[in-house]
Amino acid sequence: MPGLAPASLLYSLPMFLKRFFEPKLAQASYMIGCAETHEAIVIDPNRDPEPYLKAAAAEGARITHVTETHIHADFVSGSRELAAKTGATMYLSDEGGADWTYAFAGADRATLVKNGHRLKVGNILIDVLHTPGHTPEHVSFVVTDSAGASEPIGVATGDFIFVGDVGRPDLLEKAAHVAGTMETSAKTLYRSLVEFAKRPDWLQIWPGHGAGSACGKGISAIPQSTLGYERRFNWAFQCKSEDEFVKAVLRGQPDPPKYFAEMKRINKEGPRVLGGFARPPHLDSAALSRVVQSGALVIDLRKANAYALGHIPGTVNIPQNASFTTYAGWLVPFDREFYLIGDSMDVETAARDLAMIGLDRIAGATDTRAVDEWSATSGRGLGTVPQIESTDLAESLRHGGATLVDVRNDNEWSAGHIAGARHIPLGHLLDRLAEVPRNKPVILQCQGGGRSAICASLLLAHGFEHVSNLRGGIAGWVEHGLPVVTRAAST
């Protein structure tokens, strides 16, 4: 219909608000601008500046302010990247004490802000609100369109309040390894929520993550909400006491990916400014052979079934799909170079995805023809990953002929697992290889067969000889009418 604003424009003139969402990170960022002065601020940008630059150009605006709600744990902040590209001033939290100060703030001439500070972006007033609990330095940004209102319209809440959930307070202990902080942070988060709940019902909530993020345990896929709605339906606001909240918020949190600790360090010290995502240098067949023989990490981006049918021995399969970033963050080291095998588009996408979480040491890449040509160029055969059926697995377990390794997370394991399985979650497999016997066949299993396929490639790359993947995972096992046990039943 004529006159309707684009779906991405969440509020009309004189203020504009655009939400950006990075699906593989389940991460949201926001551009808020003044149509009169053509100034804009970007809150919580990721490492790819192009979407923000294109959006600003479409609005006829210039990005003058760049900020973030906290030192992120799940992606590399793009504040430095975007500020370098646009000349915008960075505004960074000065809350939380010396341990939570941005080390690069002085060198980058960033402005440090505390609770109560106000930023002006044309006619838009943005008040800094200290909202600790997820992290000590966390701030939220209260937005008022002063051209048409005297009270705030909404709050960019970062990882403080999500739709249907709140930011987890256990990451300092579980990911950043700051011992003994979970309960203290949970109590702090509760106090922040109690204080924030006093604000008006109409206040819009613009959170920093959507469904799929490991920064919460039950985040809704709905992109935004209001404080009134969250007060009524978000579980965190239903808790009647601090003790009840602390127990509830710490219960059932997913295991944070290993790379979260690295993100905290990178974002505190200052991410490297890339200036764009460069395509990795080409790796010819002779160089690929030398790389594989050297024991370097080579990631095959193809789908699991293609890898299972034939792959270059020693390579690791992490398929380029919606979960690629998460699994790469668990398994790819930050302190060494690595290589990629994949179609041109997959390699480009993977390079961008990896850079988003700081894995930008890609030393080379080759296309999938290298797999087809491997035998001819190297004189060695391709490897395979046999797929085992649930009924065959049941028979093998009855006779003790194989070791079954369940690579799902703790919550999945507790909900039901195959009797006799060893539980080693995907992200911990490399650290616990010694727990997997080498003297008999190993069968990997997850929920549907995807994660276990990755783990099968890891074991093969580390010298295990008889490795299979359970076709269909535990879901297929259950479909065959085979039994599972819960943690309660097995203890």
Q: What is the 3-state secondary structure (H, E, C) of 335-349?
A: CCCEEEECCHHHHHH
DSSP reduced 3-state for 113? strand
Q: Please state the rounded mean pLDDT for residues 288-304.
A: 96
- The pLDDT confidence band at residue 2, using thresholds 50, 70 and 90, is very low
Give yes or no for residue 489 having a pLDDT over 60: no
Nearest Cα to Cα of residue 336 among 391, 288, 296: 296
- The pLDDT confidence band at residue 1, using thresholds 50, 70 and 90, is very low
Please tell me the total count of domains within the chain: 3
Crossing angle (nearest 10°) for helices 324-331 and 259-269: 90
90-112: per-residue pLDDT in tens? Answer: 999 999 999 899 999 999 999 99
DSSP secondary structure letter of residue 155:
E
Q: Which residue reads 């004490």 in tokens?
A: 97
Q: Assess whether 359 and 416 both reside in one domain.
A: no
Question: Are 339 and 283 spatial neighbours (Cβ–Cβ below 8 Å)?
Answer: yes
Amino acid at 179: A
Domain boundary (378, 400, 424) is at: 378
Q: Which residue reads 């259950």 in tokens?
A: 478
Give yes or no for residue 228 having a pLDDT over 50: yes
Q: Assess whether 147 and 257 both reside in one domain.
A: yes
**pLDDT value of position 243:** 97
Q: Which residues are catalytic?
A: 446
% of the chain exceeding 70 in pLDDT? 96
Q: Please state the rounded mean pLDDT for residues 110-137.
A: 97
Domain boundary (209, 240, 269) is at: 269
Residue 275 domain flag: no
CATH number at residue 432: 3.40.250.10
DSSP reduced 3-state for 118? strand
255-269: per-residue pLDDT in tens? Answer: 888 899 899 999 999
Q: Assess whether 374 and 421 both reside in one domain.
A: no
DSSP reduced 3-state for 371? helix
Average pLDDT, the chain: 93
**pLDDT value of position 3:** 42
Nearest Cα to Cα of residue 208 among 272, 262, 163, 154: 163
Give the number of other CB atoms < 10 A from CB of residue 326: 23
Q: Assess whether 24 and 138 both reside in one domain.
A: yes
Q: Assess whether 319 and 432 both reside in one domain.
A: no
Residue 188 domain flag: yes
Strand order in the sheet with 15-22: 15-22, 27-34, 39-43, 62-67, 89-93, 111-113
Q: Assess whether 47 and 142 both reside in one domain.
A: yes
124-133: per-residue pLDDT in tens? Answer: 999 999 999 9
Nearest Cα to Cα of residue 75 among 107, 113, 48, 111: 48
Residue 7 domain flag: no
**pLDDT value of position 411:** 87
Q: Assess whether 336 and 222 both reside in one domain.
A: no
Q: Please state the rounded mean pLDDT for residues 462-490.
A: 89
- The pLDDT confidence band at residue 176, using thresholds 50, 70 and 90, is confident
Residue 8 domain flag: no
Nearest Cα to Cα of residue 86 among 61, 103, 104, 69: 61
- The pLDDT confidence band at residue 377, using thresholds 50, 70 and 90, is confident
Give yes or no for residue 490 having a pLDDT over 50: no
Give yes or no for residue 172 having a pLDDT over 90: no
**pLDDT value of position 13:** 55
Residue 33 domain flag: yes
Nearest Cα to Cα of residue 408 among 436, 465, 377, 450: 450
Task: List the structure tokens of 159.
Answer: 């990882």
Q: Assess whether 95 and 220 both reside in one domain.
A: yes
Give yes or no for residue 462 having a pLDDT over 80: yes
The model scores a pTM over 0.85: yes
Give yes or no for residue 46 having a pLDDT over 80: yes
66-94: per-residue pLDDT in tens? Answer: 999 999 999 999 999 999 999 999 999 99
**pLDDT value of position 11:** 47
Q: Assess whether 359 and 423 both reside in one domain.
A: no
Give yes or no for residue 375 having a pLDDT over 70: yes
Q: Assess whether 394 and 482 both reside in one domain.
A: yes
d(CA 261, CA 73): 7
d(CA 5, CA 36): 18
Q: Concatenate the DSSP letters of all residues of 216-230 into one string.
A: -SS--S-S-EEHHHH
What is the domain range of residue 241? Answer: 15-269
Q: Please report which residue ranges of 33-181 form alpha helices under DSSP H.
A: 50-59, 79-86, 171-174
Lowest mean per-residue pLDDT among 12-21, 311-320, 338-347, 459-468: 12-21
Question: Are 204 and 255 spatial neighbours (Cβ–Cβ below 8 Å)?
Answer: no
**pLDDT value of position 33:** 97
CATH number at residue 122: 3.60.15.10
**pLDDT value of position 412:** 93
Question: Are 467 and 445 spatial neighbours (Cβ–Cβ below 8 Å)?
Answer: no
Give yes or no for residue 29 having a pLDDT over 90: yes
Give the number of other CB atoms < 10 A from CB of residue 381: 11
Residue 4 domain flag: no
Q: Assess whether 326 and 224 both reside in one domain.
A: no
- Cis peptide upstream of residue 257 (ω within 30 degrees of 0): no
Question: Are 182 and 246 spatial neighbours (Cβ–Cβ below 8 Å)?
Answer: no
According to DSSP, the residues that pair with 209 across neighbouring strands are 27
DSSP secondary structure letter of residue 162:
E
According to DSSP, the residues that pair with 45 across neighbouring strands are none
Residue 3 domain flag: no
Task: List the structure tokens of 295.
Answer: 């024991």
Q: Assess whether 394 and 317 both reside in one domain.
A: no
Domain boundary (235, 269, 303) is at: 269
**pLDDT value of position 270:** 96
- The residue among 1 and 470 whose pLDDT is bigger is 470
Residue 6 domain flag: no
Task: List the structure tokens of 32.
Answer: 């808020």
Give yes or no for residue 239 having a pLDDT over 90: yes
393-449: per-residue pLDDT in tens? Answer: 999 999 888 999 999 999 899 999 999 999 999 999 999 999 999 999 999 999 999
Q: Which residue reads 């980058």 in tokens?
A: 108
